[in-house]
Amino acid sequence: MSEHFSLSDCDVIGFDLDHTLCRYHLKETSRLIYESFARYFVEHKNYDKDLLTLTPASWDFCFKGLVVDLEDGNLIKLAEDGTVLRATHGTNELSTEDIFKHYGPKREWKHFDSLNTSYTRSVKYYFYDNYFDLPGALLCARIVDMLHKRGSEVTSDIWKDMLAAIDHNYNTSAFKDDTGTYFPSVKQDPGRYLQPCSDSVKAWLRSMKSAGKVLLLITSSHSDYCRLVCEHILGKDFEELFDVIITNALKPGFFSLVPQQRPFRTLVNDVEESEGLPSLDKPGWYSQGNWPHLHELLKSMTGKAEPKVVYFGDSMRSDMFPASRFGKWETVMIVEELEGEGVPGGSQAKSRDVRAEPVEKRGKFEDQGMKAPSAASEQWGSYFTDVCRSGGGVEDAPKLTWCSHSIHTFSTMAIPSVESIADLPLDYKFPRFSPDKPCTTGYYPRPPDSLLKRCEGLP
């Protein structure tokens, strides 16, 4: 395999939508998502109304890459070898001694092999790898705190209620029916939550089409929400930018459910036709589907027996792992946490939480220290590296986090935003991740600070 990766070598260029092509104002969106879940708990499940009240400092807990161990209610941060780097029960940090009590002197989490080889969720654990459900980690932790304060038992009912809250706010009919809190709020004021793509990104997409590339948009969002988002970030003519649009793709199953794959369905007024298609024979807008049928279409469209495909996405579970493992596609991971560690993004990215509106109309936490979910956390540390504290408070050498290791393993390269590469020529050669190269190789425009410091400290 070549040491470098270039878009000019690809026949097909695909994109996820949310947090990939579309960047969100993360502070505003996170508050909305937290509120949407908390309101469900309070209004439908009779939980304490105090859940609806948050201090700006609470947001430091909101950190992507955590795993909730549903058997003991702990939230854990994992190293690449499955050892527990940090853990909390509720929002309260577990000491080294407490971690030893839960996970033994080697700090081994017993479900790691299952998670590390499948990236699926289970009845035993759930991991937070996207911003749409991330505020749920903070909510679950606060519920555990409240139950302990009352002297009540922590049970799996919390998690059943959380799954019900997610479904209530995000199910495929919620947008059309104006149910839940999330979709009605975004529909009412999309500019508060969605960042329009820069002119450079739009020109970049057009340049790829002009160069003869097949462009895909594959999102698990339903078609009605996809249309609202795309019209806001790309314009009313967004459909002209893509050869194939696939909504309600139900990733990762889009890639992994073979041979029990879901058929593609056509849409009429955002309603899926009941009859599935036996194959995909022409470009267009479709719902659900599977990558083998898409692969056959791409072979026909490119005239190549094995077209080279690259896919941009933000989720290890839904995008990177399944597209790489099952589709054998090249993958580019969008990692906004890079910007939280000193890596410059595009000009749009640099001002992503600065709203062009009077100060008094900005989010009420903007000037009071609310942490963006992509920034490093005081409680959880860096997304990319961390240290294990041995007994007596002695710190071991920094370890790669499991999230960081996963990026190196299943991504071709990682960038903070699509805008960070939109001004580059299509034949630009990016260094790719490789087991034979340092773990810093593969990040563009440069690795995060914590990885650079770790490499400097290694013998």
The residue from 9, 11, 16, 113 that is catalytic is 16
Residue type, 279: S
Helices (H), 337-444: 347-350, 402-410
Catalytic residue flag (residue 177): no
The residue from 11, 18, 69, 314 that is catalytic is 18
**Residues ≥6 apart with Cβ < 8 Å to 351:** none
Helices (H), 127-177: 135-150, 157-170, 174-177
Strands (E), 214-324: 214-218, 244-247, 264-265, 267-268, 271-272, 284-288, 309-313
Helices 157-170, 135-150: crossing angle, 10 deg rounding: 140
Spatial contact of 421 and 312, defined as CB atoms under 8 Å apart: no
Structure tokens at 367: 């000037």
What span, in angstroms and rounded, lies between the C-alpha atoms of 246 and 256?
A: 16
Spatial contact of 19 and 134, defined as CB atoms under 8 Å apart: no
Catalytic residue flag (residue 145): no
Pairing label, strands 399-400, 92-93: unpaired
What span, in angstroms and rounded, lies between the C-alpha atoms of 394 and 412?
A: 36
Q: Which residues are catalytic?
A: 16, 18
